[in-house]
A and B are shown apart, each in its own frame.
Chain A
Protein backbone atom coordinates (compact mmCIF):
# COMPACT_ATOMS: atom_id res chain seq x y z
CA UNK A 1 0.00 0.00 0.00
CA UNK A 2 1.66 3.18 -1.18
CA UNK A 3 0.00 5.41 1.38
CA UNK A 4 -1.66 8.73 0.65
CA UNK A 5 -0.01 10.30 -2.38
CA UNK A 6 -0.03 13.99 -3.08
CA UNK A 7 1.38 15.80 -6.07
CA UNK A 8 3.07 17.94 -6.79
CA UNK A 9 5.21 18.19 -3.64
CA UNK A 10 6.11 21.77 -4.47
CA UNK A 11 4.18 24.20 -6.64
CA UNK A 12 5.09 27.75 -7.55
CA UNK A 13 2.47 29.98 -9.10
CA UNK A 14 2.36 33.64 -10.01
CA UNK A 15 -0.43 35.79 -8.61
CA UNK A 16 -3.58 35.31 -10.67
CA UNK A 17 -2.73 31.81 -11.91
CA UNK A 18 -4.55 28.62 -11.00
CA UNK A 19 -3.21 25.94 -8.69
CA UNK A 20 -4.33 22.30 -8.87
CA UNK A 21 -3.38 19.99 -6.04
CA UNK A 22 -3.94 16.26 -6.31
CA UNK A 23 -4.49 13.63 -3.66
CA UNK A 24 -4.73 9.89 -4.20
CA UNK A 25 -6.03 8.24 -1.03
CA UNK A 26 -4.82 4.95 0.31
CA UNK A 27 -6.27 1.91 -1.41
CA UNK A 28 -9.73 1.16 -0.07
CA UNK A 29 -10.19 4.62 1.45
CA UNK A 30 -13.23 6.55 0.25
CA UNK A 31 -13.07 9.51 2.69
CA UNK A 32 -10.74 12.40 1.92
CA UNK A 33 -9.99 15.50 3.99
CA UNK A 34 -8.04 18.59 2.94
CA UNK A 35 -6.18 20.77 5.48
CA UNK A 36 -4.15 23.95 5.11
CA UNK A 37 -1.11 24.70 7.22
CA UNK A 38 0.48 28.11 7.30
CA UNK A 39 4.16 28.30 8.42
CA UNK A 40 4.51 27.75 12.16
CA UNK A 41 0.76 27.20 12.52
CA UNK A 42 -1.70 24.36 12.96
CA UNK A 43 -3.80 22.26 10.59
CA UNK A 44 -6.95 24.06 9.50
CA UNK A 45 -9.78 21.96 8.10
CA UNK A 46 -10.94 22.93 4.63
CA UNK A 47 -13.17 20.25 3.13
CA UNK A 48 -14.34 16.67 3.62
CA UNK A 49 -15.29 14.57 0.61
CA UNK A 50 -16.47 11.09 -0.16
CA UNK A 51 -16.54 9.67 -3.64
CA UNK A 52 -18.45 12.14 -5.85
CA UNK A 53 -19.81 14.04 -2.83
CA UNK A 54 -18.78 17.02 -0.77
CA UNK A 55 -19.74 16.21 2.81
CA UNK A 56 -18.53 19.34 4.59
CA UNK A 57 -16.86 22.39 3.06
CA UNK A 58 -17.28 24.71 6.01
CA UNK A 59 -13.56 25.44 6.18
CA UNK A 60 -13.15 26.38 2.55
CA UNK A 61 -13.13 30.03 1.44
CA UNK A 62 -16.31 30.78 -0.52
CA UNK A 63 -14.48 32.20 -3.49
CA UNK A 64 -11.65 30.88 -5.65
CA UNK A 65 -11.43 27.50 -3.88
CA UNK A 66 -13.13 24.30 -4.98
CA UNK A 67 -12.65 20.60 -4.39
CA UNK A 68 -13.80 17.40 -5.99
CA UNK A 69 -13.36 13.66 -5.55
CA UNK A 70 -14.58 11.98 -8.74
CA UNK A 71 -15.61 8.39 -9.08
CA UNK A 72 -12.34 7.67 -10.85
CA UNK A 73 -9.06 9.39 -10.15
CA UNK A 74 -7.62 11.52 -7.39
CA UNK A 75 -9.23 14.21 -5.31
CA UNK A 76 -8.43 17.70 -6.62
CA UNK A 77 -8.18 20.94 -4.66
CA UNK A 78 -8.35 23.85 -7.07
CA UNK A 79 -7.41 27.42 -6.25
CA UNK A 80 -8.21 30.00 -8.89
CA UNK A 81 -6.53 33.40 -9.21
CA UNK A 82 -4.04 32.66 -6.46
CA UNK A 83 -2.87 35.42 -4.12
CA UNK A 84 0.20 35.58 -1.88
CA UNK A 85 -1.93 34.68 1.14
CA UNK A 86 -2.65 31.27 -0.42
CA UNK A 87 1.00 30.29 0.12
CA UNK A 88 0.88 27.37 2.54
CA UNK A 89 1.27 23.63 2.84
CA UNK A 90 -1.85 21.76 1.81
CA UNK A 91 -2.27 18.29 3.26
CA UNK A 92 -4.83 15.69 2.45
CA UNK A 93 -5.74 12.77 4.66
CA UNK A 94 -7.75 9.66 3.90
CA UNK A 95 -9.75 7.22 5.95
CA UNK A 96 -11.65 4.06 5.03
CA UNK A 97 -14.81 4.81 7.02
CA UNK A 98 -14.49 8.38 8.22
CA UNK A 99 -12.91 9.45 11.49
CA UNK A 100 -15.91 8.39 13.55
CA UNK A 101 -14.59 4.84 13.32
CA UNK A 102 -11.09 4.79 11.90
CA UNK A 103 -7.86 6.73 11.87
CA UNK A 104 -6.83 9.14 9.15
CA UNK A 105 -3.51 9.01 7.31
CA UNK A 106 -1.85 12.06 5.84
CA UNK A 107 -0.06 12.58 2.57
CA UNK A 108 3.28 14.37 2.30
CA UNK A 109 1.60 17.64 1.43
CA UNK A 110 1.89 20.14 -1.39
CA UNK A 111 3.81 23.30 -0.60
CA UNK A 112 2.31 26.11 -2.62
CA UNK A 113 4.30 29.28 -3.09
CA UNK A 114 2.66 32.25 -4.77
CA UNK A 115 5.11 34.79 -6.16
Chain B
Protein backbone atom coordinates (compact mmCIF):
# COMPACT_ATOMS: atom_id res chain seq x y z
CA UNK B 1 0.00 0.00 0.00
CA UNK B 2 0.84 3.67 -0.07
CA UNK B 3 3.41 5.04 2.39
CA UNK B 4 3.68 8.80 2.90
CA UNK B 5 6.61 10.30 4.80
CA UNK B 6 6.49 13.90 6.01
CA UNK B 7 9.26 16.20 7.27
CA UNK B 8 9.92 17.99 9.49
CA UNK B 9 7.72 16.84 12.36
CA UNK B 10 7.99 20.27 13.98
CA UNK B 11 8.82 23.63 12.46
CA UNK B 12 9.22 26.94 14.22
CA UNK B 13 9.46 30.19 12.23
CA UNK B 14 9.27 33.90 12.91
CA UNK B 15 6.20 35.75 11.77
CA UNK B 16 6.72 36.91 8.21
CA UNK B 17 9.19 34.16 7.32
CA UNK B 18 8.43 31.30 4.93
CA UNK B 19 7.72 27.71 5.92
CA UNK B 20 8.30 24.62 3.80
CA UNK B 21 7.00 21.13 4.54
CA UNK B 22 8.05 18.16 2.44
CA UNK B 23 6.44 14.80 1.73
CA UNK B 24 7.41 11.71 -0.22
CA UNK B 25 5.12 8.93 -1.38
CA UNK B 26 5.75 5.38 -2.48
CA UNK B 27 2.87 4.35 -4.75
CA UNK B 28 3.12 5.72 -8.28
CA UNK B 29 -0.65 5.16 -8.61
CA UNK B 30 -1.26 8.20 -6.38
CA UNK B 31 -2.44 11.07 -8.55
CA UNK B 32 -4.03 13.46 -6.05
CA UNK B 33 -2.16 15.11 -3.18
CA UNK B 34 -4.13 17.22 -0.70
CA UNK B 35 -2.85 19.20 2.26
CA UNK B 36 -4.91 19.54 5.41
CA UNK B 37 -4.55 21.96 8.31
CA UNK B 38 -5.67 20.85 11.76
CA UNK B 39 -5.96 23.31 14.62
CA UNK B 40 -5.97 22.02 18.17
CA UNK B 41 -9.13 20.05 18.94
CA UNK B 42 -10.62 20.63 15.50
CA UNK B 43 -11.19 18.72 12.29
CA UNK B 44 -8.62 18.54 9.48
CA UNK B 45 -9.51 21.10 6.83
CA UNK B 46 -8.38 21.03 3.23
CA UNK B 47 -6.22 24.05 2.40
CA UNK B 48 -4.83 23.19 -1.02
CA UNK B 49 -4.45 20.18 -3.29
CA UNK B 50 -2.63 19.26 -6.47
CA UNK B 51 -3.20 16.65 -9.13
CA UNK B 52 -0.47 14.78 -10.91
CA UNK B 53 -1.02 16.54 -14.22
CA UNK B 54 0.38 19.81 -12.84
CA UNK B 55 3.66 20.66 -11.19
CA UNK B 56 2.67 23.65 -9.11
CA UNK B 57 -0.41 25.34 -7.71
CA UNK B 58 -0.72 28.57 -5.78
CA UNK B 59 -3.45 30.10 -3.67
CA UNK B 60 -2.50 33.46 -2.12
CA UNK B 61 0.22 32.74 0.47
CA UNK B 62 0.11 28.99 -0.02
CA UNK B 63 1.70 26.99 -2.84
CA UNK B 64 2.26 23.32 -3.48
CA UNK B 65 4.80 21.75 -5.83
CA UNK B 66 4.87 18.18 -7.13
CA UNK B 67 7.73 16.17 -8.61
CA UNK B 68 6.22 12.94 -9.93
CA UNK B 69 9.52 11.48 -11.02
CA UNK B 70 11.03 11.82 -7.58
CA UNK B 71 7.67 11.11 -5.87
CA UNK B 72 7.78 14.11 -3.63
CA UNK B 73 5.64 17.17 -3.05
CA UNK B 74 5.97 20.21 -0.85
CA UNK B 75 3.86 22.87 0.83
CA UNK B 76 5.15 26.43 0.88
CA UNK B 77 3.65 29.12 3.11
CA UNK B 78 4.96 32.64 2.63
CA UNK B 79 4.63 35.62 4.97
CA UNK B 80 3.59 33.38 7.82
CA UNK B 81 1.18 34.70 10.43
CA UNK B 82 0.43 33.48 13.97
CA UNK B 83 -2.88 32.05 12.77
CA UNK B 84 -0.93 29.70 10.49
CA UNK B 85 0.16 27.84 13.63
CA UNK B 86 -1.36 24.36 13.41
CA UNK B 87 -0.55 20.79 12.41
CA UNK B 88 -0.33 20.23 8.67
CA UNK B 89 -0.86 16.85 7.00
CA UNK B 90 -0.03 15.79 3.47
CA UNK B 91 -1.66 12.78 1.80
CA UNK B 92 -1.62 10.59 -1.30
CA UNK B 93 -4.67 8.85 -2.76
CA UNK B 94 -3.53 5.44 -4.06
CA UNK B 95 -6.29 2.86 -3.65
CA UNK B 96 -8.96 5.56 -3.79
CA UNK B 97 -8.40 6.50 -0.17
CA UNK B 98 -6.13 9.02 1.51
CA UNK B 99 -2.95 7.89 3.24
CA UNK B 100 -1.57 10.63 5.45
CA UNK B 101 1.90 11.67 6.43
CA UNK B 102 2.74 11.89 10.11
CA UNK B 103 2.06 15.61 10.32
CA UNK B 104 4.12 18.77 10.86
CA UNK B 105 3.48 21.02 13.83
CA UNK B 106 4.09 24.58 12.62
CA UNK B 107 4.63 27.27 15.21
CA UNK B 108 4.75 30.88 14.05
CA UNK B 109 6.30 33.15 16.64
CA UNK B 110 5.08 36.74 16.69
A99 touches B96 (CB 8 A): yes
Q: Are A108 and B100 in contact (CB under 8 A)?
A: no
Task: From A55, A58, A100, A106, give the contact of B1 (CB < 8 A).
Answer: A58
Contact B89 A99, beta carbon cutoff 8 Å: no
B1→A104 contact, CB < 8 A: no
Chain A residues with a Cβ closer than 8 Å to the other chain, count = 25
Distance (whole angstroms) from the CB of A69 to the closest CB of chain B: 14
Q: Is B44's CB under 8 angstroms from A99's CB? A: no
| Least distance between A85 CB and chain B CB atoms (Å) | 19
Report the minimum CB–CB distance from B3 to chain A (whole Å): 12
Number of A-B contacts (CB under 8 A): 57
In the assembled complex, the Cα of A105 lies from the Cα of B1 at a distance in Å of 22
Determine whether B11 belongs to the interface, using a CB cutoff of 8 Å to chain A: no
Q: Is there contact, CB below 8 Å, between B99 and A45? A: yes
Asked if B97 and A42 make an inter-chain contact with CB atoms under 8 angstroms apart, the answer reads no
Interface size class of B (residues with CB under 8 A): 20 to 34
Mark each residue of chain A from 66 to 109: 1 if its CB lies under 8 Å from any CB of chain B, else 0: 00000000000000000000000001010000111101111111
Interface string of B31-44 (1 = CB under 8 A from A): 11010100000111
18 intermolecular pairs with C-beta atoms under 8 Å apart: A31-B96, A33-B98, A42-B89, A42-B103, A43-B44, A43-B100, A43-B103, A44-B100, A45-B97, A45-B98, A45-B100, A55-B96, A99-B93, A99-B96, A99-B98, A105-B46, A106-B43, A107-B43
Chain A interface (Cβ < 8 Å from any Cβ of B): 31, 33, 35, 41-45, 48, 55-56, 58, 91, 93, 98-101, 103-109
